[in-house]
Amino acid sequence: MPTETPEKFAFIFPGQASQAVGMGKDLHLNSVAAREVFDEIDDVLGRKLTDVMFDGTPEDLTRTENAQPAITAVSLASWKAMEEAAGSAVLPAMTTGHSLGEYSSLAVAGVLSIKDTVNLVVERGRLMQVACDQRPGGMAAIIGIDEQTVEEVCREAGAYISNINTAQQIIISGDHQRLARAIDLASARGAKRAIPLSVNGAFHSGLMAPAQSGLNDVLDSLNFNDPEVPIVGNVTATALTTGAEVKDELKLQLQSCVQWNNSIQYMADNGISEFVEVGPGQVLSGMVKRIVPGAKTRAVGDFDSAQNFGRGS
């Protein structure tokens, strides 16, 4: 009788814009392991980020210095609550994250401690805000035209491709004048929609050069362990298996396009049959279903879903 191949699952971690006031509150109330993560992050920051997360205003939570560590906190707290329910370590076959989400993979894969991961996220957010102030810009979602056409539009307008989320959803960025020109060109060339995003910078573009330079100094100050499970990089869309590879990836990430479509396809091609979105929201799960029709997805971002996953249900 042939032996069945066990199903392999991957963790995928959301990035900025997945935040919502109240996220993580039930984890904090009901899971000791999750509460320890939140407490550690409050200690790292020297302030009560949990107050902003649980009972603050959407405007305060959306601020980069709050949103980035808050999303990371909920992602890592969800993972620890899963382990608490399982009574043992919960490691995927692979892990990846969308932009900011890639940093959650560092802790899960054992590349950095939770404390070092959060310190790195906080510094990333600070440096990105400085870059946004120095080189203002924005981003827009282009729906319904292919990557080659978007590349032509960006080249003509002087804009950048920042995220290839799916074959038909591509995020572009640039300074405000060039971005507006790119939106007009995309619409003229058949885009079904061209939607400006509510962000305060041109992330994953050349406008992030000041932030990347400062972040590289921080990265060089840290010792990166080899990951316990492969991390699929945003830039390379392939498995990173050494600490040096992970560090090199992060030294490029802020100025490079997030190859999300190719990353998910790579994981599916290498045996991943279920994608578990760990953290707030379910945006990535929707993208996965468009990239790999028929793929299994699951979202774990609150106490009940963490309990169910950890108990195998």
Report yes or no on 180 lying in a domain.
yes
Same domain, 125 and 144: no
Which amino acids are annotated catalytic?
A: 99, 204
Residue given tokens 């492969």 in the structure block: 230
pLDDT, tens digit, for every residue of 220-273? 999 999 999 999 999 999 999 999 999 999 999 999 999 999 999 999 999 999
Report yes or no on 184 lying in a domain.
yes
Report yes or no on 228 lying in a domain.
yes
Which of 163, 196, 229 delimits the end of a domain?
196
Give the residue numbers spanning the domain of 122: 8-133+205-310
Give the ranges where 111-253 is alpha helix by DSSP (H): 114-134, 147-157, 176-188, 209-220, 243-253
* pLDDT of res. 6: 57
Same domain, 115 and 188: no
* pLDDT of res. 311: 83
Residue given tokens 């407490």 in the structure block: 39
Same domain, 277 and 128: yes
* pLDDT of res. 62: 86
Report yes or no on 3 lying in a domain.
no
* Residue 280, domain CATH: 3.40.366.10
Same domain, 123 and 225: yes
Report yes or no on 85 lying in a domain.
yes
pLDDT, tens digit, for every residue of 106-115? 999 999 999 9
Helices and strands in the chain: count of H runs, count of E runs: 14, 10
Same domain, 164 and 64: no
Same domain, 100 and 65: yes
Pairing of strands 169-174, 138-143: antiparallel
Which of 185, 163, 186 shows the shortest CA–CA distance to 173? 163
Q: What's the rounded Cα separation, in Å, for the pair 272 and 50? A: 34
Same domain, 243 and 192: no
What residues have CB less than 8 Å from 312, skipping those under 6 apart?
Answer: 86
Terminal C-alpha separation, the chain: 27
pLDDT, tens digit, for every residue of 193-215? 999 987 878 999 999 999 998 99
Burial class (CB in 10 A: 0-12, 13-18, 19+), 50: buried
Total domain count, the chain: 2
* pLDDT of res. 68: 92
160 φ/ψ angles, rounded to the nearest 5 degrees: -130, 150
Same domain, 240 and 127: yes
* Residue 160, domain CATH: 3.30.70.250
* pLDDT of res. 3: 38
Report yes or no on 1 lying in a domain.
no
Which of 258, 206, 203, 204 shows the shortest CA–CA distance to 232? 258
Same domain, 148 and 224: no
Same domain, 106 and 165: no
Same domain, 179 and 230: no
pLDDT, tens digit, for every residue of 64-88? 889 999 999 999 999 999 999 999 9
CA angle 40, 14, 115 (to 5 degrees): 20
pLDDT of 190 above 50: yes
For residue 5, what pLDDT band results from cuts at 50, 70 and 90?
very low
Which of 179, 196, 213 delimits the end of a domain?
196
Residue given tokens 């980069």 in the structure block: 64
| Contact yes or no for 182/174 (Cβ under 8 A) | yes
AA letter at 20: A
pTM comes to 0.94
pLDDT of 63 above 70: yes
DSSP 229: S
pLDDT, tens digit, for every residue of 112-154? 999 999 999 999 999 998 999 999 999 999 999 999 999 999 9
Same domain, 58 and 16: yes
Report yes or no on 2 lying in a domain.
no
